[in-house]
Amino acid sequence: MLAVHCPRCGRPAPVSLASPDLMACAACPYRGPPPGEAAQGLRAAAHVVFQTDVRRRQLSDALRRMLVTASQRHARLLVVFALASVPITAFAALLLLGLWVSPDTEGNLVTGGMVVASWLGTVGAGAAVLVLMRRRQGRIEEACAARPPAVPGEPAACHVCGAPLGGGDGAIARCGFCAADNLVAPAVLERVRARQVVILQSFEQAVSAELASFGRATSGAAAAVVATALVVPVAAFVLAVAAVLVGESRRLPIDATVRYVVVSTSVGQCVGKIVSKTEGGTAVRFGGFRRAELPEEQAIAPGAPVEAVSPGSLVGRFVTAKNGAGVVEEVFSSPLTGNTAEVQREDGTSFTSSVAGLCLSGVLPR
């Protein structure tokens, strides 16, 4: 929008190319002709406007529809993103809840971190797409927006020539002086109230390029959000498998802070972690790598015989576990399973198992 410094107060005041010899200053009561050089420049600007093809200042029917429905496109994208986010959010919430209530904390930190990273990857990608689309929509709207009225109740002004606008076709009004199309949606006018945009030529070309780009981006963005929601869980699963393999391949020194004991069970003498119960007393926890016959936890009766055992003392012992039976070849600490034993079977194959849950018995698991 063109502005001329008021000859009385010196503040900028908007001037319409439709009446370049008249200006009205909102800061002071001045109403009259602008300074001579300014009036000459306004007439030259009006000449530039009318030298350009009027179609360059107008939107085609297709572009008008695209601009009017931009908010609807954004709303649809929000719905698509919300629906696509539900599965991964519910999945992550259930996994984190399971980790929260699990009595065995070994490996929970790594697993929980992978769950949170997967959820953030999905939601973050979708949110970035939404922000990008919203910014693009805002740039298009500002390029087409009329000049908001200075006083409530007055008509908006054409962003090209500054002439007052009459009623338009919904959110689009066509200037009666220069025939330029203007976006007059109240929400847009309120947002761009402080902005004054001057476009004297190639208006339709610039806006059509932006709108075409916006249309392609929003259509692609919806597909991208759906694809992200489908691909990220698969990628998270692959990442989890890779993390398990990498974690299992790392062999750290034994965590000596974990206390183990050997207690009598229905399948013989078995190793478990000794834990204190919140309601009092102690118990032995055998964990998730235990044999099916073992409970997850077994209370220790007062005075019951228990034998403290260190993981290193298990090397060379015959043990049974969930995955079979054999001789302990090595003990180490794993980032995922905590203190772990590598057990070699009689056929030469081997497996790993948490130290908690190993049974010092010759009875093979059923």
* Alpha-carbon gap, residue 357 to 290, rounded angstroms: 4
**What is the residue extent of each domain of the chain?**
3-51, 61-249, 260-354
CA dist 260 and 294 (Å) reads 16
The tens place of each residue's pLDDT in the chain, 366 residues long, gives: 566 777 788 777 777 777 777 777 777 888 888 877 777 777 777 767 677 777 767 777 766 776 677 777 777 777 777 777 787 788 888 878 876 766 555 556 666 776 777 777 777 777 777 777 777 777 777 777 788 887 777 888 887 777 888 765 568 888 888 888 888 888 888 887 765 544 444 444 544 554 565 455 455 555 655 565 566 556 656 666 676 677 667 788 888 888 899 988 888 889 999 887 767 778 888 887 788 888 888 888 777 777 889 999 999 999 999 888 999 999 998 776 788 999 999 999 999 888 999 999 654 443
Exposure string for 208-241, b = 16+ CB within 10 A, e = fewer? bebbeebbebbeebbebbeebbeebbeebeeeee
- pLDDT per residue as tens digits for the range 71-97: 777 777 777 777 777 877 888 888 788
Give the predicted TM-score (pTM) of the model: 0.49
- Using only the alpha carbons of the chain, give its radius of gyration: 37
CA 120, 125, 126, 131 dihedral sign is positive
Rounded (10°) CA dihedral 331, 332, 337, 343: -30
Q: What is the dihedral of CA 146, 151, 154, 157, to 10 degrees?
A: -20
Through-space distance between the first and last CA atoms of the chain, rounded to whole angstroms: 85
Number of Cβ within 10 Å of residue 274's Cβ equals: 17
